[in-house]
Structure 1
């Protein structure tokens, strides 16, 4: 689905290979761990190229 239709709880896959996943929390933000071992944090949804948005 388009990023413009994202709702809180949707999964956002980044990069062409979907090698990074964040969870959309609303207001243009995702929660994710930027790399293994890093603390989970909030960042803008457009911090990396978005590959897809999935509702589970």
Structure 2
């Protein structure tokens, strides 16, 4: 089903703003950091991306 959805919608990448303690989970899914830890008005996260090939 994943393959069909990706083909139908031509999805090239997924982005997330990971919580610090969830970083390892996203890394295990294949995401990579696009920046280091950031603090945006008290919201601390790590921007990550998963490129679909």
- Answer whether TM exceeds 0.5 for this pair: no
TM-score normalised by the shorter chain: which range applies?
Answer: under 0.3
TM-score (normalizing by structure 1): 0.27
**When you count strand as a share of all residues, which structure comes out higher?**
1
TM-score (normalizing by structure 2): 0.27
**When you count helix as a share of all residues, which structure comes out higher?**
2
